[in-house]
Structure 1
Amino acid sequence: FARDGSAVSVVSVSSNAVQVLDPATNKVQTTAYVGRSPHEAFVSPDGKTVWAAIRGEGYVSVIDRETGEVQDRITTASGPSKVVFSPDGAHAFVNHLFANTVAVIDVASRKVMDEIAVPEQAGGSADEAVTPDGKELWLGHPGTGHTTVIDARTFKVKAVLETGPRTNHPNFVTRDGTDYAYVTVGGLNQTKIFRRTDGEPEEIGKIEHSGVAPHGIWPSPDNSRLYVVLQKSDAVDIIDTATNEVIKTLSVGQDPQALIYVANAAPGAEGANLGEQGLGNRVENIAIEVRGAEGASASANIRHVAGVDEIDITARGLPAGQSFTVFGQNEGGSHPIRSIKAGDNGVVGEALAYADYFDTYTGLLLLPEGQKP
């Protein structure tokens, strides 16, 4: 978003596009076609350009906000994931999914001025956020379940925190003079809470969500509320930061991943040019029965899309490299839906199948390949 609330940038990963919306009318102002698989972007501090991380390539695109013309490309390491700016507007930070590094870019010259090495145990980073006071940069590492905290002034790593499987987005709240960081952990269906200190952050609690796979997170400007999207439940949890409890859950569109809160962006324009894509479609999260792999667990997110049901399968604790078959179960027996293979860590992060599930099956079964139900 633009810092004055006059624009919102939206990245379309599968269309290789970056668009700018006018919040007052909710209409698209410009569209820029960029490189392969752009991921996350921010409007520059001066409001004139949009900086987008092109994760399928290896650079940041600088786009003219008014015309959609790509003005510049800033080369970085492989798989840049997001661009965030320091509060003073002097620096841009770019994290990477396929490289253990953060690029520090001088905004005025658009040149990479430093590289911050991310510890190997943390690995690639999908999301990042800079604290409102400009002191720290927090990185989420979904593949390893870590969060890295970097001193955004000295460009030195302060801490690597073990936060849990599919660690996603960080964000920040200040209440009663105390600074807090919140990190969504998709694999635990939790948001973890840390007290920020001059040294290593202190974990002080966690929030249990109403649904599955918390992902994006953003506070209200007065820091009284946190909003967390539940990717696999098509919902948003609203959290009271005084109690750190979920006080309301809203149904939203399909597969939400990120959100922002822009105060007073559209005065008097409530409801203008809005739609209801995917709102109210059926979605369920179920446990999958696992046989032949002691200690393993699996689950499926099932949602109705475009006349068919999408089955999103995840599993943990499987024998590394072993193949399995997922069966749909009903009164007539068990029927194979798809094969999956565990990675070197015994995890299947996401395996998609499409079938008429809701009208056909009552459950799912996971068996070693070749084994019959």
Structure 2
Amino acid sequence: MTRLVLILALLLGLSAPVMAETSLAGHDISSLVFITNKDSNDVTVIDSKNNNLIARFEIGPWCAPHMSMVSCDGRLLLAPRTKKNDFVAIDLKSGEKFGPIPVGFSPEHFDCSPDSKLCYVANFEEGTVSAIDLTQMVEVARIPGFAEPHGVTFTPDGSKAYIANFGAHEVGVVDTKTHQLIKRIAVGSAYKVAALNPDRYLAEIKGIANATPTPDGRYVYAADGDSGEVAVIDTATDSVIASVRVGAEPWRAYSSPDGSLMLVPNNGDKTVSVISTKDNKVVATLKGGEGMTGINFTSNGRKAYAISSREGAVYVYDMGKMREIKRLKLGTNVVLETASTTADGNRLYLACSTTNSVYVIDGESDQVSVVPNVGHSPWAVAILGGYNYCH
């Protein structure tokens, strides 16, 4: 069977990664880079010390995993089997797989609680969130009341989770003890505009992709795609304390390492809005690219990188001077996805779905190297303790 798969891969012009290890016993998990590959239905692992591929974890046939994550304690690799409507967990030391655990329809994004005991999985097409007990490996609740739930964010103490609704202009707040939706927070003014132009704003809603916390968890920033506004939510009261006007069709906010800035890529006008979290005002508007999928930081936040998926390029910014300093063109006819920054803030690992590779960008020199053949259609990257996100 393995021989047949390899022959088919060669006939299709693909190069399937072949790695012997199915456990990571003896490895420093924090030094590893986990790559979610949608078309080869697996997660491959790069050792950041030498950028060698060292392991491959099969998630399941024809399941198209959307992302993966390492639990906060470094014990488990977690991944939704998006096309199978279930979820798996893999013990990284033993290689033992738990599941599949049935969840809702089209699970895509998720988050793990800080104590690594609970996982919330957003079932995008079903409008629910599955609560998975990671000690028992079972779904303990399925929470209704969402519209295309997208990003999931736990508070630092794990008592609440904020669910972004991409199909609505609101953020849901869930009590993690009762698994109940306890509040719905309206974001932006698009609902007012929709009343005037329903054909445009109700045909396809561009709502909230993610509720991004400050490092201390005191506030979350939620960008609304239709209204071009970012709501600042006080997590103590779950109320909007400020609304910041940014560019057209903002995707989501990305926090600088110290939490002093939130960068928001605006795909409607190809700009990046820089918000000061001290006074919640836009302090700079930077040139961006087309189809931006993420922003990363290096050098303790002194530099930022905006990924332009459709241009196959990365825009590099000096955040001290608030200006673009270079544009890294990574190839022609390439589609860039998302990146993770290493825990020390020195390097970016960026997935490219069309070349089956990962680009490694050095934060000091901006030199780019390539790790080829990581899997088929790499979609997302995760590093324990690093700066992670998905799209």
Would the TM-score normalized by the shorter structure come out above 0.5? yes
Superposed displacement of residue 132, structure 1? 0.9
SS at 2:253 equivalent: strand
Partner of 1:131: 214
Over the matched positions of the two proteins, sequence identity in percent amounts to 23
Partner of 1:71: 140
Q: Do residues 205 (structure 1) and 284 (structure 2) align?
A: yes
1:279 to 334, 342, 355: 355
Deviations 1:330-354 (A, max 9, x none): xxxxxxxxxxxxxxxxxxxxxxxxx
Q: Distance in 1 between matches of 2:283 and 2:351?
A: 40
Q: Distance in 2 between matches of 1:21 and 1:251?
A: 33
SS at 1:222 equivalent: helix
Does the Cα contact within 8 Å between 1:5 and 1:263 map onto a contact in 2?
no
Does the Cα contact within 8 Å between 1:95 and 1:125 map onto a contact in 2?
yes
Superposed displacement of residue 183, structure 1? 0.7
Partner of 1:261: 341
Q: Do residues 43 (structure 1) and 119 (structure 2) align?
A: no
Question: Which amino acid in structure 2 is aligned with residue 116 of structure 1?
Answer: I
Question: Which amino acid in structure 2 is aligned with residue 106 of structure 1?
Answer: D
Q: Distance in 1 between matches of 2:351 and 2:261?
A: 35
SS at 2:343 equivalent: coil
Superposed displacement of residue 44, structure 1? 1.7
Q: Distance in 1 between matches of 2:334 and 2:248?
A: 22
Superposed displacement of residue 23, structure 1? 8.4
Superposed displacement of residue 30, structure 1? 6.6
SS at 1:167 equivalent: coil
Q: Distance in 1 between matches of 2:305 and 2:95?
A: 21
Q: Distance in 1 between matches of 2:83 and 2:133?
A: 21
Partner of 1:61: 130
Question: Which amino acid in structure 2 is aligned with residue 186 of structure 1?
Answer: N
Higher RCO, Cα 8 Å, sep 6+: 2
Residues 21-36 of structure 1: pairs in structure 2 closer than 5 A: 32=101, 34-36=103-105
More strand by share: 1
Partner of 2:244: 161
Deviations 1:142-193 (A, max 9, x none): 2332222212221111223332222112011256xx8111111112222210
1:151 to 192, 210, 234: 234
Residues 1-373 of structure 1: pairs in structure 2 closer than 5 A: 1=69, 2-4=71-73, 9-10=78-79, 16=85, 18=87, 32=101, 34-65=103-134, 69-121=138-190, 124-173=207-256, 179-197=260-278, 201-209=280-288, 211-220=289-298, 222-244=300-322, 245-247=324-326, 249=328, 251=330, 255-263=335-343, 277-279=353-355
Superposed displacement of residue 24, structure 1? 9.3
Does the Cα contact within 8 Å between 2:246 and 2:282 map onto a contact in 1?
no
Superposed displacement of residue 204, structure 1? 0.8
Q: Distance in 2 between matches of 1:148 and 1:223?
A: 23
The unaligned stretches of length 5 or more in structure 2 are: 1-68, 192-204, 358-391
Partner of 1:300: none
Q: How many residues align?
A: 269
- Say if 1:136 and 1:47 are closer, same or farther in 2 by CA, change over 3 A: same
Question: Which amino acid in structure 2 is aligned with residue 278 of structure 1?
Answer: T
Partner of 2:381: none
RMSD (Å) for aligned C-alpha atoms: 3.9
Does the Cα contact within 8 Å between 2:143 and 2:180 map onto a contact in 1?
yes
Deviations 1:195-247 (A, max 9, x none): 1125xx111112223x4222222334833443432221234444443344345
- Say if 1:141 and 1:20 are closer, same or farther in 2 by CA, change over 3 A: farther
Superposed displacement of residue 250, structure 1? 6.6
SS at 1:126 equivalent: strand
Q: Distance in 2 between matches of 1:239 and 1:169?
A: 18
Question: Which amino acid in structure 1 is aligned with residue 227 of structure 2?
Answer: T
- Say if 1:127 and 1:279 are closer, same or farther in 2 by CA, change over 3 A: same
Does the Cα contact within 8 Å between 2:188 and 2:229 map onto a contact in 1?
no
Question: Which amino acid in structure 2 is aligned with residue 261 of structure 1?
Answer: T
- Say if 1:34 and 1:8 are closer, same or farther in 2 by CA, change over 3 A: same
Query: Which has the larger displacement, 1-10 or 140-149?
Result: 1-10
Q: Distance in 2 between matches of 1:218 and 1:277?
A: 18
Does the Cα contact within 8 Å between 2:339 and 2:351 map onto a contact in 1?
no
Does the Cα contact within 8 Å between 2:169 and 2:224 map onto a contact in 1?
no
SS at 1:216 equivalent: strand
Q: Larger Rg: 1 or 2?
A: 1
Deviations 1:20-45 (A, max 9, x none): 57889999987655333334211221
Query: Which has the larger displacement, 113-122 or 82-91?
Result: 113-122
The unaligned stretches of length 5 or more in structure 1 are: 266-270, 282-373
Superposed displacement of residue 19, structure 1? 5.6
Q: Distance in 1 between matches of 2:89 and 2:328?
A: 28
- Say if 1:208 and 1:91 are closer, same or farther in 2 by CA, change over 3 A: same
Superposed displacement of residue 78, structure 1? 2.4
Superposed displacement of residue 106, structure 1? 1.8
